[in-house]
Structure 1
Amino acid sequence: MSPVLDVPRELAEPAERGTLTIGHGVVRKVAQHAADQVPGTARDGGKGAKAKVSGLDDDVDLALDVALRYPAPVRRVAGAVRERVTEEVERITGFHVRTLAVTVSGLRPDVPPRVR
């Protein structure tokens, strides 16, 4: 119902409503954010995970580069990153994650703040 006219508003057929295009830049940002949310990952100098996206149509291939907190269990955290990123990309974008490569580029120690 339209609040102004109090009459039902009919929607056009789905094919006539237009299109939605989700760019690879959006998929990249979703993947990076999801990877940074996994416990055990580290933001390197304020920068989080880096992602590359390729693929066609609704299938994407992802390559992630992440740093982990030392002494995080590398295999377990990398597996959690893979799971979280796949779930989030598929949930938010509707794309199917065909492949996901995770590269652990560094281990960062938990450093307490220098100033108290």
Structure 2
Amino acid sequence: MRAVPAEGLAPAAHRGVLQIGGRVVEKIAARAAREATTEAAPDTVLRAPRAGATMHHDHATVNLDVDVPYPGPVVEIARTIRQRVRADVEYLTGMPVVRVDVTVARLTRGGHGKRRVQ
């Protein structure tokens, strides 16, 4: 049995390894992107964002395909999505996100309607 330091944790080398799968990062990223687009256009029905993630030893990169409302500030919405995704992934995983690529796949005319639940 190893002694535990006064702080309550064993030395880092003895605690083990935490691996976070790419699919976990993709789900977090897609949800963050969805929340950002919903805030930008609460009355517009948009398809769910599609996310991909590449995991590296100590960081992640994320790519997203999203729909944005039309007319609307496409660049500003994409910037908001990028910031939200980076912040949420880093906060929830503790892993730095070095790049978030956002592809606007479709412009969707805004309007009042029922949102699809996915």
Count of residues paired in the alignment: 102
Code of the residue aligned with 2:17 in structure 1: it is T
- TM-score after normalising by structure 2: 0.75
Alignment RMSD: 2.0
1:80-99 counterparts in 2 under 5 A?
80-99=80-99
In structure 1, runs of 5+ residues without a counterpart are 1-9
Separation in 2 of the partners of 1:61 and 1:12? 31
Q: Which moved more, 1:16-25 or 1:30-39?
A: 16-25
Which of structure 1's runs of 4+ aligned residues deviate more than 6 A? Answer: none
Separation in 1 of the partners of 2:22 and 2:104? 22
Code of the residue aligned with 1:109 in structure 2: it is R
Separation in 2 of the partners of 1:86 and 1:113? 30
Q: Aligned residues: percent identity? A: 35
Computing the radius of gyration from Cα coordinates, the structure with the larger value is 1
- Cα shift at 1:79: 0.5
2:52–2:62 contact (8 Å) kept in structure 1:
yes
Q: Which moved more, 1:48-57 or 1:11-20?
A: 11-20
Which SS does the other structure have where 1:19 is aligned?
coil
In structure 2, runs of 5+ residues without a counterpart are 1-7
- TM-score after normalising by structure 1: 0.76
- Cα shift at 1:19: 2.9
- Cα shift at 1:98: 1.2
1:58–1:94 contact (8 Å) kept in structure 2:
no
